[in-house]
Amino acid sequence: MTVDGRVVAGRYRLGRRIGSGAMGVVWQAHDELLYRTVAVKQLLLQPGQSEADAEEARRRAMREGRIAARLQHPNAVAVFDVVDEGDGMPWLVMEYVPSRSLSQLLEEQGTLAPQEAARIGMHVANALAAAHAAGIVHRDVKPGNVLLGDDGTVKITDFGISRAQGDSTVTATGMLAGTPAYLAPEIAKGHDPTPSSDVFSLGATIYAAVEGIPPFGLSDNPLALLHKVASGQIDPPRQAGPLTQPLLSLLSAEPTERVTMVRCRDALGAVAAGQPAPPMPVPQQAHMPTVATAAQRPMPMATRLDQRPPVGGAPRATSTTAMPPVRPKGPQQSGGMKRGPLIGIVTAVVIAVIVGVIVVINHGGNNNAGGSDGTGGSTGGGGSTTSASTTPAATVINRQPLSGDGDPGPDVQMKTVTDFFAQLPSNAQNAATAYLLPGFQGGADAFLAEMSKAKTVTLSDVQPGNYYIRATEHIVTKDGVKSVQQIGVGLKWENTQLYIQKIDKIGAAKPES
């Protein structure tokens, strides 16, 4: 279809076609009222579509506009307008980003270095954390929906199948929303999406960026791929380097074992800055295959993206942020282990044994009940992981005074709550010191006692309020008991800081499968 030169809503003159998706075609256009370039998404109905299906498609387009317009974030493509041309077909007017998708970049370059993949993932996580705080789940995070601007910016786009809290679901019965290769296991099993599902999909996107292939591989048979996704058994990363531990945490088969998007953003930011990622929970071995050690791991093979025909020629160099060197795409050399590397491995093993003996001596007769300091525990030769070994190390929290005139708004209030819960349960002591009001209702000691029994604590469906934030709390105890609880978090503005005054349990906790 050619509509070049058509004027939509009396002001948006369509130019060249710049993309297409499940719901329609995207055109570059000129806003003749504000004299700026925009992107206009044209809804296309399929030939022979029933009136009921056509009406659903229209509702989905309007819903995409409403949801996306609620999210104003520098790392999310902004929606400016939704117009109706009188034929019942909505047009979505969006921010125009001179860019290419991460998918296009990977087709051209094969894989990215871990630090660059972390930089891209950090910006996407930043936008998704804001979306989750607003009650929005994206549901289709994938390389094709990550835009890399010519100026180095990163933006997530296409909230067309996202679901907002309080908005009715308009996806047809039996329709699977999302791209199978990047779906979370619980979605492949038919469960409702949650913010944790976006965490998994972002992890899968970053995995594909460094490994050259999604964590569940590729298949021309979508049903076979969905079956593998539902199993939750990923192919362990081999080229992720400093991203290995964060990826394993993000790609846990159990939603309650994944970190929040806030912690995901912080971990990716550390790797992007060339720093070690903060310790993150390691998935239970029952749900995650053991990652091969350096001695066991085979040499990296050429990525499957190498099998694709070249796309677009040489990479563009228009971004002000230089891309790091890309991994070579040729075959790897193989052969026996040289003497130098062998000596290095033996030396590392000897050092590890010595350190282990010192740790045992220092901790002998000084066992702390509960093990809440997160310093002990190790993985034995059999590969079983103890709960202590999965506990992130505690870190001191230095909160900066809040700036600006007047009391903090709803966004700052929700961020305070999500940042606090992102520290739980491993860093509960420092989080209580930094965030809880001295007169915290119920007492800080009781709160810390509850956290000492928890293995993971996550939030979903965070809803804004006037110094009272409602959310759904998911807790997995160290005994493996899972529960879900509606909570209300009361806040108080004091001097230049926002503190948590109380945490109400609304109704009774329910078991969570």
Binding-site annotation: residue ranges for ATP: 41
Instruction: Determine if the peptide bond prior to 425 is cis (ω within 30°).
Output: yes
Question: Rounded distance, CA 161 to CA 61, Å?
Answer: 9
Question: Rounded distance, CA 232 to CA 400, Å?
Answer: 40
HSE toward the beta carbon, residue 165, CA cutoff 13 A:
17
In 440-485, alpha helices (H) = 444-451
Is residue 140 part of the annotated active site? The answer reads yes
Query: Got the DSSP string for 430-443?
Result: HHHHHHB-TT-TT-
Cβ atoms of residues 306 and 150 within 8 Å: no
- Give the strand order in the sheet containing 497-511: 454-463, 468-477, 482-494, 497-511
**Parallel, antiparallel, or unpaired for β 24-31 and 36-43?**
antiparallel
Q: What angle do CA 146, 203, 141 make, to 5 degrees?
A: 35
Question: Rounded distance, CA 107 to CA 144, Å?
Answer: 11
Which residues pair with residue 502 across a beta bridge?
A: 490
CA dihedral sign of residues 486, 191, 258, 368: positive
Cβ atoms of residues 125 and 267 within 8 Å: no
Cβ atoms of residues 324 and 116 within 8 Å: yes
Residue 223 neighbours by CB distance under 10 Å:
8
Q: What angle do CA 281, 282, 288 make, to 5 degrees?
A: 145
Choosing from 31, 140, 266, 419, which is the catalytic residue?
140
Query: Got the DSSP string for 2-36?
Result: --TT-EETTTEEEEEEEEE-SSEEEEEEEETTTTE
Catalytic residue list: 140
